[in-house]
Amino acid sequence: MKNDIYEILKKPVRTLKGVGEARAKLFQRLNIYTVYDLITHFPREYEDRGKLKSIVELVDGEAQAFEGTIAAPVSESRLRRGLSVFKVSVRDESGTITATWFNQHYIKNVFKVGEKYIFYGKVSRKYKSFEIQSPVYEKHDKAEMKNTCRIVPVYPSTASLSQNIIRNCISSALESVLGSLEDILPQWVRNQYYLSEINYALEHIHFPKGEEDFKNARTRLVFEELLLLQLGLLSIKSSFIEVKKGILFRPVSDLQHFLDSLPFKLTNAQRRVLSEIEEDMESDRVMNRLVQGDVGSGKTAVAVLALFKAVKNGFQGTLMVPTEILAEQHFRTVKALLERFDIRVSLLTGSQTKKQKDEILEEIRSGKTDVVIGTHALIEDTVIFDRLGLVITDEQHRFGVRQRAALSKKGDNPDIIVMTATPIPRTLALILYGDLDISVIDELPPGRKPIETYAVDNSMRERVNQFIRTKVSEGRQVYIVCPLVEESEAIEAKSAVETSERIALHDFKDLQVALIHGKMKAKEKEAIMQGFIKGEVHILVSTTVIEVGVNVPNATVMVIENAERFGLAQLHQLRGRVGRGEHQSYCILYNEGNSKVSRERMKVMQKTNDGFVISEKDLELRGPGEFFGTRQHGIPELKIANLYRDLDILKQSQEAAGMILAKDRHLKQDENIKLKEKITERFKDKMNEISFN
Ligand code: ADP
Ligand code: MG
């Protein structure tokens, strides 16, 4: 019996009644291949067709259901060539309504006078005359009514796969499995969190009888999905698999000296976070700490202090960042700060020549260099450290779990700090960093003025240009960010190349305009950034290569073209490039989107400078799928859970995941075997080094 159900779930949808080759192809477009895929294709919403109204009660403009008798044969009238309308008059005791269809010739053969039907659709009512266009209908005496007379599921669909077809296929797939599905959740978990049983849950998520049913079914399925996710993620996080002994760093007396040498005094928040880090470093537990801080809160300084401590303890440290520009910038600042204390700093990026790289690799291997700053190039196998003790990743949201793990494997249980400036909504933080301790730098260095933000449209261009000229004449510098590198005909968005040409040759021909984008050679980029840092360039036209981390305090105006194309978190990051010095800074968002959502997003940007508020809003408005590419994190698409709304269930599932693994770390016990199978299956192509052994 047990095997039977597994076999059935794995069967291709083609084996179902009513599904041929063509339909199977359509289902594939929805990523549905097997019976299991089908029964876990969850409704996107529900229509309440359960309440039957009498015709006279029907309300104008609403989708409603009613029952009636066919009063007269179907009539056909030709409106013009190629357009026929079919009408049928339906009545009940209270009144009459006309149902109409366009060009549906088969309708003539459907309805017979005197038969009873249920109809569902949007009704229009003009005085006493009722009409309903292309309604859903079902014969009253049909043994099983799937499409009317109940709460009806509406599925994510694709053209030419009608709701009726999907619904009928799911219904027949469910028929073949309901009652024999085995629960993958251990009994105690279901008891403890009041979760319904799987057969019930699947039946009622598709065909709920009422609100209560639906809620129970959904909660259970969301819980399962999030639990699998948590278990999957936790199991690849090495820290969870072994409780490792870490390095015991000693306090460093020089640290105060170093602090005094900084050009500023740490903020209270920086000091608090530093002491949290020091405490971790001085314990023999492996540090796994996330440092969250809004753009400009001064995370780099904290990172440098930790690196200092590691090096003075005789270890090497490394700082990995997502872009070359950022790597070079950090390299310059960090080197300037540390060299005075006899600490050797190197830079490693993908675009260095082989000769340069080989030299640096040798210095890393021999231990001649103390601190290595670099990009993804750091993860490569050729990078071998002599005694790596501290691993820091900056702008963590750009890296996956896998990359973080790969870098720390280069040391012997090194301490780990991850830093992020994209404040992550609590739900996502719990998922992505569930195993990390979190420190928050919730204070900006003193004297920062909030950035003034304006959303404008093209009619304001001349005024904005005038404003830019004024600021440049006051000695300030300007960023103009465009969404695309080169102009494309398909998308009408400002391209950086085209914009820089236009403004260099036309709008600002008296000013120094430079262009920077990701497709340029690293050398070129570096030269241009240098020109901007030195103040030789007034206006830097750029793609999002400058999104993270770039620090030029004299730049005070950020203009973003086609702002509607960027996510809020990204806009916030971009805006964070200004407001870094003593001068009042401005952000101008050209919004060419007309939708309500895009207006709302611009409003959020104008109203708040708080990255946390913005990221919550972003997640709410765009959904987690688009909120920074989840694929990077190896998180499979969620089928039913909503990370914005299901925070409570998320917390419970996380707690459960912790308890399950605490009792059975390798998921080997009988009650957990099915969970393990599912996780392996779920994550296999997403995270190949997932391992329980
Ligand atoms: P982020 O957190 O965005 O990475 P940075 O570390 O780049 O921020 O710091 C932003 C700017 O603030 C830098 O110019 C840095 O020198 C400066 N800064 C950092 N900490 C302080 C402080 N305590 N007081 C004044 N300026 C600071
Ligand atoms: Mg930074």
Domains of the chain: 1-49+150-182 (1.10.150), 56-145 (2.40.50.140), 254-283+298-420 (3.40.50.300), 452-608 (3.40.50.300)
- Considering only residues 150 and 349, tell me which one the structure prediction assigns the higher pLDDT: 349
Among 551, 575, 577, 583, say which to mutate for ligand 1: greatest number of ligand atoms within 8 Å of CB. 551
Give the pLDDT confidence score for residue 490 in this predicted structure.
58
Among 265, 297, 418, 420, say which to mutate for ligand 1: greatest number of ligand atoms within 8 Å of CB. 297
Nearest CA among 676, 665, 690, 693 for reference residue 401 = 690
* Cα–Cα distance measured from residue 388 to residue 376, given in angstroms and rounded to the nearest whole number: 17
Q: Side-chain half-sphere of 372: how many Cα atoms within 13 Å?
A: 35
Nearest CA among 401, 381, 386, 252 for reference residue 318 = 386
Residue nearest (by alpha carbon) to ligand 1 atom 23: 266
Residue nearest (by alpha carbon) to ligand 1 atom 24: 445
Position 239 pLDDT exceeds 60 = no
d(CA 282, ligand 1 centre) in Å: 25
Asked if 590 contacts 562 with a C-beta cutoff of 8 angstroms, the reply is yes
- 301 alpha carbon, closest ligand: 1
Give the pLDDT confidence score for residue 448 in this predicted structure.
81
Position 659 pLDDT exceeds 70 = yes
SS3 track for 370-424: CEEEECHHHHCCCCCCCCEEEEEECCHHHCCHHHHHHHHCCCCCCEEEEEECCCC
Residue nearest (by alpha carbon) to ligand 1 atom 16: 298
- 396 alpha carbon, closest ligand: 2
Give the pLDDT confidence score for residue 130 in this predicted structure.
92
Give the pLDDT confidence score for residue 288 in this predicted structure.
86
Tell me what the mean pLDDT of segment 544-557 comes to.
80
- Considering only residues 144 and 286, tell me which one the structure prediction assigns the higher pLDDT: 286
d(CA 295, ligand 1 centre) in Å: 9
Residue 636 — very low, low, confident or very high, per pLDDT cuts 50/70/90? low
Residue nearest (by alpha carbon) to ligand 1 atom 19: 298
Mention every residue, 6+ apart, whose C-beta is less than 8 A from residue 479: 539, 540, 542, 546, 555, 557, 558, 559, 574, 577, 578
Asked if 483 contacts 547 with a C-beta cutoff of 8 angstroms, the reply is no
Lowest mean pLDDT: which of 80-84, 561-565, 599-603, 627-631? 627-631
d(CA 628, ligand 1 centre) in Å: 24
d(CA 580, ligand 1 centre) in Å: 8
Residue nearest (by alpha carbon) to ligand 1 atom 18: 298
d(CA 476, ligand 2 centre) in Å: 22
- Considering only residues 178 and 239, tell me which one the structure prediction assigns the higher pLDDT: 178
- Considering only residues 243 and 388, tell me which one the structure prediction assigns the higher pLDDT: 388
Give the H/E segment covering residue 360.
Answer: helix 354-366
Residue nearest (by alpha carbon) to ligand 1 atom 4: 299
* Cα–Cα distance measured from residue 347 to residue 353, given in angstroms and rounded to the nearest whole number: 12
d(CA 661, ligand 1 centre) in Å: 40
Position 240 pLDDT exceeds 50 = no
Tell me what the mean pLDDT of segment 134-146 comes to.
75
DSSP 250: P
169 φ/ψ angles, rounded to the nearest 5 degrees: -65, -45
Q: Cβ of 598: how many Cβ atoms within 10 Å?
A: 17
* Cα–Cα distance measured from residue 348 to residue 267, given in angstroms and rounded to the nearest whole number: 31
d(CA 294, ligand 2 centre) in Å: 9
d(CA 300, ligand 2 centre) in Å: 6
Give the pLDDT confidence score for residue 85 in this predicted structure.
92
Q: Side-chain half-sphere of 579: how many Cα atoms within 13 Å?
A: 24
Position 49 pLDDT exceeds 50 = yes
Residue nearest (by alpha carbon) to ligand 1 atom 9: 298
Residue nearest (by alpha carbon) to ligand 1 atom 13: 298
Give the H/E segment covering residue 125.
Answer: strand 116-126
* Bridge partners (DSSP) listed for residue 34: 12
Give the pLDDT confidence score for residue 629 in this predicted structure.
40
Among 262, 295, 300, 397, say which to mutate for ligand 1: greatest number of ligand atoms within 8 Å of CB. 300
Q: What percentage of the chain has pLDDT greater than the value 90? A: 48
Cα angle 299, 283, 693 (rounded to 5 degrees) comes to: 95
Position 235 pLDDT exceeds 80 = no
Lowest mean pLDDT: which of 37-41, 108-112, 645-649? 645-649
d(CA 214, ligand 2 centre) in Å: 45
- 551 alpha carbon, closest ligand: 1
Lowest mean pLDDT: which of 148-152, 432-436, 462-466, 506-510? 432-436
Asked if 86 contacts 76 with a C-beta cutoff of 8 angstroms, the reply is yes
* Cα–Cα distance measured from residue 112 to residue 115, given in angstroms and rounded to the nearest whole number: 6
Give the pLDDT confidence score for residue 191 in this predicted structure.
96
- 326 alpha carbon, closest ligand: 2
Asked if 396 contacts 419 with a C-beta cutoff of 8 angstroms, the reply is yes
d(CA 245, ligand 2 centre) in Å: 29
Residue 651 — very low, low, confident or very high, per pLDDT cuts 50/70/90? confident
Average pLDDT, the chain: 86
* Cα–Cα distance measured from residue 109 to residue 73, given in angstroms and rounded to the nearest whole number: 10
pLDDT tens across 354-366, in order? 999 999 999 999 9
Query: pTM (2 decimals)?
Result: 0.62
C-alpha dihedral, 646 to 651 to 657 to 662, nearest 10°: 180
Asked if 321 contacts 403 with a C-beta cutoff of 8 angstroms, the reply is no
Give the H/E segment covering residue 151.
Answer: strand 151-154
Pairing type for strands 129-133 and 96-102 reads parallel
d(CA 440, ligand 2 centre) in Å: 14
End-to-end CA distance of the chain: 30
pLDDT tens across 432-464, in order? 666 678 888 988 888 888 899 999 998 999 999
Residue nearest (by alpha carbon) to ligand 1 atom 17: 298
Give the pLDDT confidence score for residue 492 in this predicted structure.
61
Tell me what the mean pLDDT of segment 499-509 comes to.
81
447 Cα nearest atom in ligand 1: 25
Alpha helices (H) along 417-509: 426-432, 461-473, 496-502
Give the pLDDT confidence score for residue 613 in this predicted structure.
82
Q: Cβ of 44: how many Cβ atoms within 10 Å?
A: 10
DSSP string, 160-202: T--HHHHHHHHHHHHHHHTTTPPP-S-HHHHHHTTPPPHHHHH
Among 264, 290, 304, 439, say which to mutate for ligand 1: greatest number of ligand atoms within 8 Å of CB. 264
* Cα–Cα distance measured from residue 211 to residue 291, given in angstroms and rounded to the nearest whole number: 42
Give the pLDDT confidence score for residue 423 in this predicted structure.
64
Residue nearest (by alpha carbon) to ligand 1 atom 5: 298
d(CA 312, ligand 1 centre) in Å: 23
- 398 alpha carbon, closest ligand: 2
Lowest mean pLDDT: which of 308-322, 491-505, 509-523, 571-585? 491-505
- 443 alpha carbon, closest ligand: 1
Give the pLDDT confidence score for residue 401 in this predicted structure.
64
Tell me what the mean pLDDT of segment 88-93 comes to.
94
d(CA 572, ligand 2 centre) in Å: 13
d(CA 397, ligand 1 centre) in Å: 20
- Considering only residues 594 and 349, tell me which one the structure prediction assigns the higher pLDDT: 349
Pairing type for strands 116-126 and 63-70 reads antiparallel
What is the CB < 6 Å shell around ligand 1? 264-267, 270, 293, 295-301, 421, 445, 549, 551, 553, 580
Tell me the two tokens of residue 270.
């920086």
Residue 549 — very low, low, confident or very high, per pLDDT cuts 50/70/90? low
Position 367 pLDDT exceeds 70 = yes
Residue nearest (by alpha carbon) to ligand 1 atom 15: 298
* Cα–Cα distance measured from residue 327 to residue 336, given in angstroms and rounded to the nearest whole number: 14
Residue nearest (by alpha carbon) to ligand 1 atom 10: 296
pLDDT tens across 161-181, in order? 888 899 999 999 999 999 989
Nearest CA among 415, 214, 434 for reference residue 318 = 415
